[in-house]
Amino acid sequence: MAENEDVEGGEKKSSKLIIIIAVVLLLVGAGAGYYFMAGDPEAVDEEQVEAVENTEEDESANEELYYDLSQSLIVNFPQGSEANLIQVSVSILVKGADTLEAVKKNEPMIRNNLLMAISAKGAANLKTREGKEALRAVMLDEVGKVMERMTKKNKVKDVYFTAFVMQ
């Protein structure tokens, strides 16, 4: 009888061992199957990160930003003109952060060209709305020329007056 008890206890231990091994193999098989079906998790993460970075770069390259010139543009007109001076504050609309940085970097040249453009228009021409719109168009062209010359690309969208005073 003692032998029967040992055999039954041994069968219980070996059946538990077989069940444990089967469960472990099942879990390992399921994990391997998931790995091969889903692909390399690190590669997926790198692809996702790269896609997000490219999207962010595309968005910042297409983002429209304003840049206010650091100081107003002031031009004195000759005696006998309809106004003695003009003071104009300007905001420049650009496409992309890189263009914004280029505008900041080249502000002295932009200011020079804009001052010359205002002087060339004269006080009489700047009294009307049409004259102001024509000045805006010339200013946009001048800023675009500077950007084309200095960066070989022009992503300047528009120029806006934020203040316009004639005395």
Q: Which CATH number fits the domain that encloses residue 77?
A: 3.30.479.30
User: pLDDT class for 11, splitting at 50, 70, 90?
Assistant: low
Residue 49, domain extent: 2-60
Structure tokens at 19: 């069940």
pTM over 0.75: no
Are 32 and 85 part of one and the same domain? no
- In the structure encoding, which two tokens stand for residue 12, read together? 């219980």
Nearest to 65 by CA among 18, 97, 27, 98: 97
Q: Do residue 75 and residue 93 come from a single domain?
A: yes
> How many domains does the chain divide into?
2
- Per mean pLDDT, which range of 39-53, 71-85, 132-146 is the poorest? 39-53
Number of Cβ atoms within 10 Å of the Cβ of 141:
14
Domain shared by 42 and 104, yes or no: no
Give tens-digit pLDDT for 32-57.
766 666 655 555 556 565 665 665 55
Q: Is the domain of 56 the same as that of 135?
A: no
